[in-house]
A = this chain, B = another copy of it.
Amino acid sequence: MRILHSVPADDGFYMPAEFSPHYGCIMIFPHRRDSWQNGAYAARKAFAEVIGIISQTEKVTVCARYDDYDSARFMLPENVRVIEMESDDSWARDVAPTFVTNGKEIRGIDWGFNAWGGLEDGLYFPWDRDNKMARKLCDLLDVDTYDKRSFILEGGSIHSDGEGTIMTTESCLLSRGRNPDMTREQIEAELLRCLGAKKVLWLRRGIYNDETNEHVDNICAFTSPGEVVLSWTDDRSDPQYEMSASCLEYLESVTDARGRRITVHKLPLPAPVTVTEEECAGLDDMNGVPTRTPGERLAASYANFYISNGHVLVPQFGDKNDEKAIDILSGLFPTRKVVGVYARDILIGGGNIHCITQQIPAAGLR
């Protein structure tokens, strides 16, 4: 593995869309007792279900801590690769590399990671184990890695259409906890240089109470170039209404890197999902402080799906809109099987199926 200090765009590399072919997928076996109730017991089952589906059409590599290797190996299918790697938590989307390709070869980008806001408004301290994973994963896969550790970014805060357009949220990328010394223009330029893109679409907000400062991957996703799904509620009394409406207004006002207008498909939200007293009781405190409060609203959204080679894995919440979300996505992904996974036990950790996965593009893995 070479550690590169050049610019991906200058080297002819770009970030492909998630719906392009994958070599595989990276995930992390959950363990953190203040993120996942009951020692991650239920979370591991939910992760295993996700892994089981993805591994039908992709090579899944699961990172397990030394102490968790045997449990992971026992729980997961034979065709899944379990490797030993320390982590602070289990959000592969945000700590694994963002892969770029030139069509022949892939490389990984090793962004700086500071637990979604560092000492400003991050979610835990320390985060050094997480921050070291991207480089180690490139080493493991034997692909070169771009050293972008000086730029704080999580994979969940960006989407690519693979044709020059990146989508992100202002609330996250302009947050004080990430790159406070960079202007919006500088951040945009860095995204374009690193991701080999031509245009950044800046949604204003994400999902209400999303503790990542509202990652784009929880509210909106490309389903094909020029086409997105947007999490939506018609309930004007819900604080989410204004947030989603601002995104819709923006998306209807812009064109993408190829000059196309964006087709927006509204993806209904489930009714507000709140954490129960029992669930909170199963979570360890963090330095003596509870990490969740009974009744707290969780950032539930169907937009947090993962597009694998053969499936679209969609979170389900036991809500009347569960099926509707699957129907909408089935129409938009006609070549894939759209499957629901009951994901409450992932959501309690603070994210969902997209957040716990990171695709490895197909091109040219040695």
Contacts and interface: CB of A to CB of B under 8 A. Distances in A.
Contact of A83 (B73, B78, B132, B139): B139
The main secondary structure of chain A at its interface with chain B is: mixed
B86 A84 contact: yes
Interface in A47-68: 59, 66
Query: What is the count of identical protomers in the complex?
Result: 2
Nearest to A74: B3
A81 B136 contact: no
Interface in A143-200: none
A140 interface: yes
A69 B2 contact: no
A142 interface: yes
B1 A83 contact: no
A142 B141 CA distance: 12
A132 B69 contact: yes
Given A73-B139, A78-B1, A78-B2, A66 B86 contact: yes
A85 interface: yes
Contact of A84 (B70, B81, B85): B85
Nearest to A78: B2
A135 B59 CA distance: 19
A136 B1 contact: no
Question: Shortest 8 CB-CB distances between A and B: which pairs?
Answer: A66-B86, A2-B78, A84-B85, A82-B139, A83-B140, A81-B142, A84-B136, A84-B84
Given A59-B142, A66-B66, A140-B140, 18 more contacts: A1-B81, A2-B78, A3-B78, A66-B86, A69-B132, A69-B136, A73-B139, A81-B140, A81-B142, A82-B136, A82-B139, A83-B84, A83-B139, A83-B140, A84-B84, A84-B85, A84-B86, A84-B136
